[in-house]
Chain A
Amino acid sequence: MSSIPSSLGPRLESAAASDDSIQRVHAGLLGQKPEPEPGGYALAPLALLGLMSALILGCCIFFVRNRGGFDPLVYNGRIDPKSAANTSAALTPEKIIANGKAIYGLSCIQCHGPEGKGQPSLFPPLAGSDWANGSEDRVIRILLHGLKDPIKVKTVDSTLDFASSNKMPSLLAPPYGYSDAKISFVLTYVRQAFGNNAPPITAEKVTAVREEIAAHKGEFTQADLLAVP
């Protein structure tokens, strides 16, 4: 192009190329191979190819990391539904109760009975028991290290002076060896089954109590428990 023709001014701008020639020239350019740079390669297509490969790679990585397992219910891509299911954060209250019920059926039912009523003069009741429904710190201690010697159990309609040579076993010791999470599940179940209505107990709380009483040896007694709030 020799020169860009000077404009007629904004009131009527002059064309510098006719429609026909624009189309003819560009149709020619479309078939034209890019001119090689001094190095022997055309730079622009190479750079473009590099950009494309980098983008595709980056996009694949991004998609795999943010796909959320293709789960229609996962809205946050950074959460993997499979690993999330194993942590207690993903547990619903229903699951906690179901877990607790299963543990109760395995480990408590033989002494405290299917209805949580215990057995007269052998095992105390859990239904309505002030221990089961009361202080978290005390009931967690009972399950962690067990309980011995006479105790007084208040239920909704009666007060029982329970005295038997039977002991409540420690659930940390063999054959139980329960995790803090399991203990929290069964306690939450006991506190909400058999007509009981006490707040749930978290695994974190159980952990905290276990660390607090790590130095304690053997079963607790009523006097030990009444000393804690």
Chain B
Amino acid sequence: MSASKPSSPVLPVAEAADIDAAVRLPVLVLLAFAILWLLTASALGLVAAIKLTRPDFLASCEWLTFGRVYPAALNALAYGWGVSAGLAVALWLMARLSRAVLPGGGLLVVAAVCWNVGVKLGILGILAGWSNSVPWLEMPRQVMPFLLVAYVCMAAWVVGALRAGSSPRLYVSQWWVLAALFWLPWLLTAAGAMLFFAPVRGTVQSVVAAWYAHGLLALWFAPLGLGLVYYLLPKLLGKPIRAYYLAPFGFWFYALFSAWAGAARLADGPVPAWTQAAGAIASFMLLLPVAVIAVNLFGSFLGGGLAALGRGVVLRFAAVAALFFVLSTLLYVAMALPGVAAITRLTWFAAASDYAVIYGVFSFAVFGAVYYLAPRLVGREWPFASLIRAHFWLALAGLVLAGVSLSLGGLQQGRELTNAKIPFADVTQHTLPYLQAATLAGALLLLGHLAFAVNFVKLVLCPRHRAASAAAPVPASLLAAPELELEVHAS
């Protein structure tokens, strides 16, 4: 197909080829780790989901009891997949937008290996029964300093790209990515210190734990996803972000309120009422940045953009991520209302909105970005177009099915738990169909990830594919990018 495409006479050189070449090795290594972790996490998650409905499944193996597999799956997803993939795309995006040709990616690869060894030890620790009882921080505390050092080495590289780059301007994606890079170590050190190394006492512990859990999702995963979407939309649509002058406003308000919103997770819980109320109003105020971000992102689709959704898979991934960002924040706002919290807390509903962030926002944005950037890094096309489409539809189906079944199941569970007339065993029994649907969703996701992994491995590793393909390396003209023209919105 590439042979039939006429080359553009205006810009015959591949865009940013030297920049891409400099980050090729570290980005591909990080992505390879990330995809391995994604498969691990989805497999562990599937085992955990099956165990919820069929407790006798793999029951004889101590390492695979539910209390270990479930946190292992979550941590593999968050730190194995999430942080590795997040850093990979952040590095690429930062290098490109700062126009920095990074020297010496070798050190970065060492740090990436260290990080992944650390996560591996942590996950094994959880499976061996040494986990902590703090959600999203179950990895044994001994690996945490190690992880932190590895993380700082990697993130410093990305920040260095910004300083070394020759671009005179900052784009909104860079704010989001940069902020996320600083927020994660802040969250990790503060929560690690206050929960494990110099534990605070009493209810403050649960406040810190809630702050961390919310921060990980709202200050690491969501901002990275947003940064990518803000980049991919103009990149593929060829249109500027709508009402861009509001974008800084959205960023600062989000940063201001998200850090506080975590306390809303404790609504109706055992912490002082004013803490819950403060968390709730911080969540309500999030409506403001979400409105801005929604105008920015969805506004870009106005006027012909929707048709482009039908053509490009990357754009579709980005659009789903934007949609789920708005959706998940609305869910958090709803759950901060005391009346709603009384029903949803401690149910699957709360879990559903967390998955919406980590999967719907972050992972979808990363998938889209990888489908765009990987062929440019390698200099070859993706081997299987059908697997890309299969990945998108399987992931979307899995995401929607899991989200719908867990939130409906959670609502029913919550309503029945607050009704003293219904025995607890019956409540559990009634959630079973929803959990079965969620298990099916897990299987769909795993299939989608397999399609992604096969494509990626073939793209990167298999030289035979290169020889067999009609056109050897992609001609540079196809990798060129036209100029974005300034367009006045009101006209």
Query: Is A217 close to B, CB under 8 A?
Result: no
Q: Mark B359-388, 1 if CB is under 8 A from A, else 0.
A: 000000000000110010000011111001
Cβ-defined contact, A68 with B388, below 8 A: no
Q: Give the Cβ gap from B44 to chain A, nearest Cβ, in Å.
A: 29
Interface residues of A in 50-95 (CB under 8 A from B): 51-52, 55-56, 58-59, 62-63, 66-68, 70-79
Cβ-defined contact, A52 with B244, below 8 A: no
Q: Which of A22, A26, A66 contacts B276 (CB 8 A)?
A: A66
Enumerate chain B residues within 8 angstroms of A66, measured Cβ to Cβ.
273-274, 276-277, 280, 338
Interface residues of B in 285-332 (CB under 8 A from A): 285, 287-288, 291-292, 295, 304-305, 307-308, 311-315
Interface residues of B in 382-404 (CB under 8 A from A): 382-385, 388-389
Q: Give the Cβ gap from B97 to chain A, nearest Cβ, in Å.
A: 6
Q: Give the Cβ gap from B57 to chain A, nearest Cβ, in Å.
A: 37
Query: Is A164 close to B, CB under 8 A?
Result: no
Interface residues of A in 7-29 (CB under 8 A from B): 7-29
Cβ-defined contact, A73 with B291, below 8 A: no
Q: Which of B2, B237, B281 contacts A62 (CB 8 A)?
A: B281
Cβ-defined contact, B278 with A63, below 8 A: yes
Report the Cα distance A8→B481, complex, angstroms: 13
Query: Is A32 close to B, CB under 8 A?
Result: yes
Closest to B231 in A: A22
Number of A-B residue pairs at CB separation under 8 A: 208
Cβ-defined contact, B481 with A17, below 8 A: yes
Cβ-defined contact, A55 with B288, below 8 A: yes
Cβ-defined contact, A59 with B285, below 8 A: yes
Q: How large is the interface on B (under 10, 10 to 19, 20 to 34, 35 or more residues)?
A: 35 or more
Assuming the contacts A8-B5, A18-B484, A59-B284, asked whether A44 and B243 have C-beta atoms less than 8 A apart, the reply is: yes
Assuming the contacts A10-B385, A35-B490, asked whether A17 and B238 have C-beta atoms less than 8 A apart, the reply is: yes
Query: Is B409 close to A, CB under 8 A?
Result: no
Closest to A32 in B: B245
Cβ-defined contact, B486 with A25, below 8 A: yes
Report the Cα distance A20→B484, complex, angstroms: 9
Q: Give the Cβ gap from B210 to chain A, nearest Cβ, in Å.
A: 14
Cβ-defined contact, A4 with B237, below 8 A: yes
Enumerate chain B residues within 8 angstroms of A55, measured Cβ to Cβ.
284-285, 287-288
Q: Give the Cβ gap from A90 to chain B, nearest Cβ, in Å.
A: 16
Enumerate chain A residues within 8 angstroms of B194, measured Cβ to Cβ.
none
Enumerate chain A residues within 8 angstroms of B288, measured Cβ to Cβ.
48, 51-52, 55
Report the Cα distance A45→B308, complex, angstroms: 29
Enumerate chain B residues within 8 angstroms of A4, measured Cβ to Cβ.
237-239, 304-305, 307-308
Query: Is A105 close to B, CB under 8 A?
Result: no
Q: Which of B164-172, B176-184, B344-352 contacts A (4 or more CB under 8 A)?
A: B164-172
Cβ-defined contact, B273 with A51, below 8 A: no
Cβ-defined contact, B385 with A19, below 8 A: no
Query: Is B96 close to A, CB under 8 A?
Result: yes
Enumerate chain A residues within 8 angstroms of B305, measured Cβ to Cβ.
4
Closest to A77 in B: B273
Enumerate chain A residues within 8 angstroms of B172, measured Cβ to Cβ.
26
Query: Is A223 close to B, CB under 8 A?
Result: no
Query: Is B442 close to A, CB under 8 A?
Result: no
Cβ-defined contact, A35 with B488, below 8 A: yes
Closest to B172 in A: A26
Cβ-defined contact, B273 with A76, below 8 A: yes
Interface residues of B in 191-231 (CB under 8 A from A): 231
Assuming the contacts A8-B1, A59-B281, asked whether A25 and B240 have C-beta atoms less than 8 A apart, the reply is: yes
Enumerate chain A residues within 8 angstroms of B440, measured Cβ to Cβ.
none
Query: Is B423 close to A, CB under 8 A?
Result: no
Report the Cα distance A34→B247, complex, angstroms: 13
Query: Is A158 close to B, CB under 8 A?
Result: no
Closest to B368 in A: A13
Enumerate chain A residues within 8 angstroms of B248, measured Cβ to Cβ.
30
Cβ-defined contact, A77 with B276, below 8 A: yes
Assuming the contacts A51-B288, A67-B273, A75-B272, asked whether A15 and B235 have C-beta atoms less than 8 A apart, the reply is: yes
Report the Cα distance A148→B292, complex, angstroms: 82
Enumerate chain A residues within 8 angstroms of B388, measured Cβ to Cβ.
10-11
Enumerate chain B residues within 8 angstroms of A165, measured Cβ to Cβ.
none
Enumerate chain B residues within 8 angstroms of A5, measured Cβ to Cβ.
238, 482
Cβ-defined contact, B274 with A10, below 8 A: no
Q: Give the Cβ gap from A216 to chain B, nearest Cβ, in Å.
A: 41
Query: Is A227 close to B, CB under 8 A?
Result: no
Cβ-defined contact, A25 with B272, below 8 A: no
Closest to A34 in B: B245
Query: Is A214 close to B, CB under 8 A?
Result: no
Report the Cα distance A138→B288, complex, angstroms: 66
Q: Which of A13, A19, A31 contacts B15 (CB 8 A)?
A: A19
Enumerate chain A residues within 8 angstroms of B5, measured Cβ to Cβ.
8
Enumerate chain A residues within 8 angstroms of B314, measured Cβ to Cβ.
10, 13
Enumerate chain B residues within 8 angstroms of A36, measured Cβ to Cβ.
490
Cβ-defined contact, B486 with A44, below 8 A: no
Cβ-defined contact, A15 with B246, below 8 A: no
Give me the 7 closest cross-chain CB pairs, A-B, nearest first.
A68-B273, A16-B238, A35-B490, A17-B484, A77-B273, A15-B481, A59-B281
10 CB-based A-B contacts, threshold 8 Å? A4-B307, A7-B311, A7-B312, A16-B236, A17-B234, A17-B484, A21-B483, A48-B288, A48-B291, A66-B280
Chain B positions within 8 Å of A, measured between CB atoms, are 1-2, 5, 11, 15-16, 96-97, 99, 167, 169-172, 231, 234-241, 243-249, 268-274, 276-278, 280-281, 284-285, 287-288, 291-292, 295, 304-305, 307-308, 311-315, 338, 371-372, 375, 381-385, 388-389, 474, 478-490
Given contact pairs A11-B385, A51-B291, A63-B277, enumerate 10 new A-B contacts (beta carbons under 8 Å).
Answer: A15-B480, A17-B238, A23-B169, A25-B486, A26-B244, A67-B277, A68-B274, A72-B272, A77-B276, A78-B338
